Chain A
Amino acid sequence: MSANTSKAAIDIRNTSKVYGKSRVNGVVALDDVSLQIRDNEFFTLLGPSGCGKTTLLRLIAGFEQPTQGEILLFDHHLEGLPPYKRPVNTVFQHYALFPHMTVSENIGFGLEMQGKADAEIHKVVDEVLALVQMEYLANRKISEISGGQQQRVALARALAPRPKVLLLDEPLSALDFKLRKEMQLELKRLQLDTGITFVFVTHDQEEALTMSDRVAVMNEGQILQVGSPKEIYDHPARRFVADFIGDINILGAEILSSDSARASIRLSGGFETSASLPDQSDALSGKVSVAVRPEQLEFIDDQESAALRCKIKRITYFGSGSHYDLETAEGESITLRQQNRLGGHRNYEVDDQVNIALNEGSLQILAD
């Protein structure tokens, strides 16, 4: 093994998963996915339902076997290993806590199955209960605690055996908004405290951006882009990624010339500027789509330097800022987001003609 590969906690190589009989009439849940998850990182698999993220998690956990490809855990092949022989634990979407056991018994179950001594089980269970702040519920039955508490117990149960990798399958989806926010911070803290690699599955892009060290965006069984939340947000490589994460404006443009990282472009309105090229951009030329975030647009007075001339269609006020729905002269719909500062700038009204400037560094050319 080279030094490079040994840094990966999980190394997924050209893995496919097909449900059903053959590739032709089966359902392809994962399509030739390769991915490396580093040790000690909070890694998120993000995508809409049915994109294959849960399948990938189940392949790592061992509940499913890959149709093709291989998965390595700290350089050990996982092929053929049943789930109970993998040093990996899962926090299930609906927690799957054992209803006939107490909170402590649930948390101690993994250690007990590993054949640990009673004294050690007690010690670890107490430690983990303290870690998730649940000491006072140790002897309760599962049916006697709330959803948020069950969530913490599920987390404690999966952490107690100190797995090499913790898999989390949309664990926050059943919680209400406030509790979810709280648990997001909690999860991040736990990951830092324990130093365990977390692989987190979610369809909530905000959740993914706030917690993760790196995010993989998935769709239709493929990984579209892997990067830090900032890279993913600022430089979405694919149209799907741009659409899926946050609000974004997509404009038509034409490539005039390009080097390896940037290209000169002309927007459909005629304005010439430059934009970043995505990584896999060999084939890009001619007509392309350019993405820009609503907060990177700005009203200006000077018509000469304006990138776009627009008409205001609608204004949505939301306290700290406002959304402006605009229509360009070419008929493209875009949005602009602006912080509200008292006396800071001009007041605009619906149907006003406005001049818009684009923050040049924020333009990103998309691959389809």
Chain B
Amino acid sequence: MTKSSNHQLPESNLSASVIAAEKQLKKTRMLLLAPGILIILLIGILPLSIVLTYSFMTPGDYGGVKAEFSTAAYVQLLFEEDIFDETFSFTSSYLQIFGRSLALAIFATVASLLIGFPTAYFIATRTPETRSAWLFMITIPFWTNLLIRTYAMLLILRDEGAINLGLMKLGLIEKAIPMLYTNFAVCLGLIYAFLPFMILPIYASLEKLDFRLVEAGFDLYANRFKVLKRIIIPLAKPGIAAGCILVFIPSLGAFITPELLGGGKSLMIGNLINIQFGSSRNWPFGSAIALILMALVLVSLMIYVKRSGEKGASAHG
């Protein structure tokens, strides 16, 4: 329709043409949204639906699944079936793996925060030119595959590795300290792998921080510690939260690091899932664990969002 025809239209026709125009607009909008929705469907919803469906099926004999409904995968997580009388008894072995994963991920997150915050602060307080040089150095490890970096870690940590040899040469220890295949090694590996994900968002927050506010804090009788606690940290909170989420979630599901540095002793959820799809040939169980892991992350994120939302609201009122 053209503008000139619009002018001559009587009232009722005008509203009809408005409705038509709105419909057209909706169509265009849908068309423009379509690629985004398609991507979400293809790489988000579809794979998840497959995983969800598999988790309620029966394992196939040589991997894969048989199309028979079963809740066995979820039962298996907590209960063990007796081979002889087919009764179920409670087992905590999988829960232990969940617990260890959670503990290691939390520890790695806290340690990354303690290392990452000062690092980010240091970079954010440099001059603009040196800042980019520091950021560049933070991102250098990403150029190498995580697997290779983890192998390097392995070489450093093992009994004949750089640390033990060095300490022995110096005469500080007589026998090698076993570090490889411990929770310590896994945690160190996780921190090493994910530390940049802590540093970068915190840096982004601190870089935007108006340092005149820090001066105002000093002016108003706050010492260094109080300025950090009352001004810098609250204002860097979005970055700290983002960093913690970005370290915690991949740590919880990590499998290369615990596989190489934890050996068989420090199994994490990621390894458990990996095994189900590999040697154990139990795809439904693997799918079930993956979904439960996702649910755990989702619930903890929702609690976090709700809590921070409430805090914001109370500060508002």
| Interface stretch (choices B129-137, B173-181, B221-229) | B221-229
What residues of A have a CB within 8 angstroms of the CB of B3 in the complex? none
* A-side interface residues, number (CB < 8 Å): 28
Interface contact tally, CB-CB below 8 A:
62
The answer to whether A157 and B220 touch across the interface, beta carbons within 8 angstroms, is yes
User: In the complex, how many residues of chain B place their beta carbon closer than 8 angstroms to a beta carbon of chain A?
Assistant: 20
Interface status of A100 (Cβ within 8 A of chain B): yes
In the complex, are the beta carbons of B221 and A110 less than 8 A apart? yes
Interface flag for B138 (CB, 8 Å):
no
Q: Which residues of A contact B309 (CB under 8 A)?
A: none
Q: Interface code B193-214, partner A: CB below 8 Å = 1, 0 otherwise?
A: 0000000000000000010110
Q: A92: CB under 8 A from chain B?
A: yes
A89, B219: Cβ atoms under 8 Å? Answer: yes
Out of A63, A94, A157, A161, name the residue touching B218 (CB < 8 Å): A63
What residues on B are CB-neighbors of A157 within 8 Å? 220
Q: Which of A152-167 contact B (CB under 8 A)?
A: 157-158, 161
Contact with B along A49-90 (1 / 0, CB 8 A): 000000000000111000000000000000000111100111
Q: Which residues of A contact B213 (CB under 8 A)?
A: 96, 98-99
Knowing A98-B231, A141-B315, A141-B316, the reply to whether A109 touches B222 (Cβ < 8 A) is: yes
Task: Type the 1/0 row for B153-189, where 1 means its CB is closer than 8 Å to any CB of A.
Answer: 0000000000000000000000000000000000000
Which of the residues A99, A113, A139, A141 comes within 8 Å of B220, measured between beta carbons?
A113
CB neighbours (8 Å) of B230 from chain A are 109
A94-B223 Cα distance, complex, nearest whole Å = 22
Interface assignment of A249: CB less than 8 Å from any CB of chain B: no
In the complex, A63 Cα to B230 Cα: how many Å? 19
Q: Within 8 Å CB of A5, what residues of B? A: none
Known: A96-B212, A96-B213, A102-B315. A83 touches B235 (CB 8 A): no
Other-chain contact of A84, B223, B231, B234 (Cβ < 8 Å): B223
Main SS of chain B's interface residues?
helix
Any chain B CB within 8 A of the CB of A303?
no
Are B218 and A84 neighbours in the complex by a CB distance under 8 Å? yes
Set of chain B residues within 8 Å of A359, measured between Cβ atoms: none
Residues in B neighbouring A141, C-beta threshold 8 A:
315-316
Nearest-neighbour CB distance to chain B for A77, whole angstroms, equals 19
> Is A114 among interface residues, defined by CB-CB distance under 8 A?
yes
Query: In this assembly, does B152 line the interface, its C-beta being within 8 Å of a C-beta of chain A?
Result: no
Which residue of A has the minimal Cβ distance to B212?
A96
Q: Which residues of B are found within 8 Å of A110, using beta-carbon distances?
A: 220-221
User: In the complex, A348→B172 CA distance in Å?
Assistant: 101
B139 to chain A, nearest CB (A): 30
Once the chains bind, are B316 and A161 in contact (CB under 8 Å)?
no
Q: Does B14 contact A (CB under 8 A)?
A: no
Please state if B235 and A100 are interface contacts (CB–CB under 8 Å).
yes
How far is it, in angstroms, between the C-alpha of A93 and the C-alpha of B187 when the chains are bound? 48
- Given the complex of chains A and B, what is the CA–CA distance between A94 and B315 in angstroms? 23
Contact status of A92 and B221, CB under 8 A, knowing A99-B235, A102-B315, A141-B315: no
Whether A96 and B222, one on each chain, are in contact in the complex, defined by CB atoms closer than 8 angstroms, is no
A113 touches B221 (CB 8 A): yes
> What separation, in Å, do the CA atoms of A48 and B315 have in the docked complex?
41
Cα distance, A88 to B223, chains bound together (Å): 15
**Please, how many angstroms separate the alpha-carbon atoms of A179 and B157 in the complex?**
67
Q: Taking the complex as formed, is B317 at the interface, i.e. its CB lies under 8 A from any CB of chain A?
A: yes
10 pairs from A and B in contact (CB 8 Å cutoff): A62-B218, A63-B215, A82-B223, A83-B218, A99-B235, A101-B315, A109-B220, A109-B222, A113-B222, A158-B219
Given contacts A62-B218, A83-B215, A100-B234, 19 further A-B contacts (CB under 8 A): A63-B215, A63-B218, A84-B222, A88-B219, A89-B219, A89-B220, A96-B210, A96-B213, A96-B216, A98-B216, A98-B231, A99-B213, A109-B217, A109-B220, A110-B220, A113-B222, A113-B226, A161-B220, A161-B221
